[in-house]
Amino acid sequence: MKTKVQDKFTTLFGEGGQFFASAGRINLIGEHTDYNGGYVFPGAIDCGILAKIKVNGTKKVHLFSIDFDEYVEFGLAEEDKPSQSWASYVFGVCRETIKRGGKVEGFDAVFAGDVPLGAGLSSSAALESTFAFALNYLFNNGIDKFELAKIGQSTEHNYCGVKCGIMDQFASIFGKQGSLIRLNCKTLEYKYFPFNPKGYRLVLIDSCVKHELASSAYNKRRASCENACAAIRKNHPEVEFLSDAKRLWLDEVRDQIPEEDFLRAEYVIGEVQRVLDVCDALERDDYETVGEMMYQTHFGLSRLYEVSCEELDFLNKLARKHEVTGSRVMGGGFGGCTINLVKDELYDEFVTAAVEQFEAKFGHAPKVYNVVISDGARVLE
């Protein structure tokens, strides 16, 4: 990847420039909790975005994507938004940096990525974080790391139409090799947890299914949560986010909100607690409990939050049948991967069965990714 980026950069822009990188992410547990002020438990992974960037002394950005094999130029004013959706991520990062008082002027850049698209591994956060980090570095803006993550999140909100939480951008900025990070999305307190379970492996099985309209369905889930939260707040004014609510308080408003919103909120309140239970279990090396919580999350995401699909439910059931310790749909849902915590000795049998049986049923093979927890945004020497 580095040679490709380097060669293209030299062809288009000549000498100079610096390499920057950032990562995709996994999430052990804590799904759809971030925008509800709850906990998440992600980590950056060893695939991401690599960019070579050079300040060009003009007011224009010259950008080439290796993966889309496309060149785009844009200015830095609000009305200069490029029509290509891949380029609007970079444009959004420039605009959000400027809105925060940061300096951004013209630059030349070539980038490539190896985060599988649509797999729920946050290729878009990797792209945003790479550029947020790089612009901060190149223009010496002194913006802190949380704000860099928020630049990525606001890019999604204001330029890409997804009202996402902070998890993906946080993980891809703060990621640290070998560690998962528990983040309290309300207070932004976080803690690194070294993650090296002896005798187990984490493996992702990618259904390679991507559902259309995932972003509007995502925004709809968020609206349901906010609606349930507002109803609870009438009785309990201290409830700022849904994660502050007790299960009993949700029951009190059951007949005041649509059943659908009730089910979404029921899932979220359970999930917030499961993240804490998983962290406790990890401190005791109790992987059986971690895995059981993952199965509970899958059930909730499938039946209450309704962001799973036939292919992911199939993979989850298959994992149970093969005595995989934990398995669940990962990320926003509507397609993508399951994340599986598997004992070493069961790994080969499970992965072979998953690939064969999935292909026999759905007519295409799933992809298998072994997880390596890695560093987040950085400048490369």
The residue within the footprint of ligand GLA, chosen from 167, 180, 257, 337 (CB under 6 A), is 167
For ligand GLA, the closer CB: 61 or 183: 183
The residue within the footprint of ligand GLA, chosen from 96, 108, 147, 168 (CB under 6 A), is 168
Residue 122 CB, shortest distance to ligand GLA, in Å, is 6
CB of 351 within 8 A of CB of 343?
Answer: no
Residue 170 CB, shortest distance to ligand GLA, in Å, is 9
Residue 8 CB, shortest distance to ligand GLA, in Å, is 29
Residue 262 CB, shortest distance to ligand GLA, in Å, is 20
For ligand GLA, the closer CB: 253 or 279: 279
Instruction: State how far the Cα of 26 lies from the Cα of 218, in Å rounded to an integer.
Output: 18
Quickly count: other Cβ atoms within 10 Å of residue 280's Cβ. Answer: 12
CB of 269 within 8 A of CB of 39?
Answer: no
Q: Is 90 in the site for ligand GLA (CB under 6 A)?
A: no
3 state SS of 82? coil
Which of 242, 250, 245 has the alpha carbon at shortest distance from 226?
242
The residue within the footprint of ligand GLA, chosen from 112, 164, 180, 253 (CB under 6 A), is 164
Question: Is 144 among the residues known to form the active site?
Answer: no
Residue 223 CB, shortest distance to ligand GLA, in Å, is 13
- In angstroms, the Cα distances linking 345 to 100, 199, 290, 351, 357 are 51, 8, 18, 11, 20
The residue within the footprint of ligand GLA, chosen from 116, 332, 366, 376 (CB under 6 A), is 332
Which of the ranges 28-36, 111-119, 204-212, 260-268 carries the binding residues for ligand GLA, by CB under 6 A? 28-36
Amino acid at 188: L
Instruction: State how far the Cα of 112 lies from the Cα of 129, in Å rounded to an integer.
Output: 14
Quickly count: other Cβ atoms within 10 Å of residue 85's Cβ. Answer: 12
Q: Is 165 in the site for ligand GLA (CB under 6 A)?
A: yes
Instruction: State how far the Cα of 102 lies from the Cα of 41, in Å rounded to an integer.
Output: 30
Structure tokens at 100: 């925060």
Q: Is 274 in the site for ligand GLA (CB under 6 A)?
A: no
Q: Residue 306: which region, alpha, beta or left (left: phi > 0; alpha: psi -120 to 50)?
A: left
Instruction: State how far the Cα of 356 lies from the Cα of 31, in Å rounded to an integer.
Output: 28
Residue 67 CB, shortest distance to ligand GLA, in Å, is 20
Which of the ranges 29-37, 101-109, 192-200, 277-285 carries the binding residues for ligand GLA, by CB under 6 A? 29-37
For ligand GLA, the closer CB: 35 or 89: 35
Active site residues: 168
Interface residues toward ligand GLA, by CB under 6 A: 31-32, 34-35, 122, 164-165, 167-168, 331-332
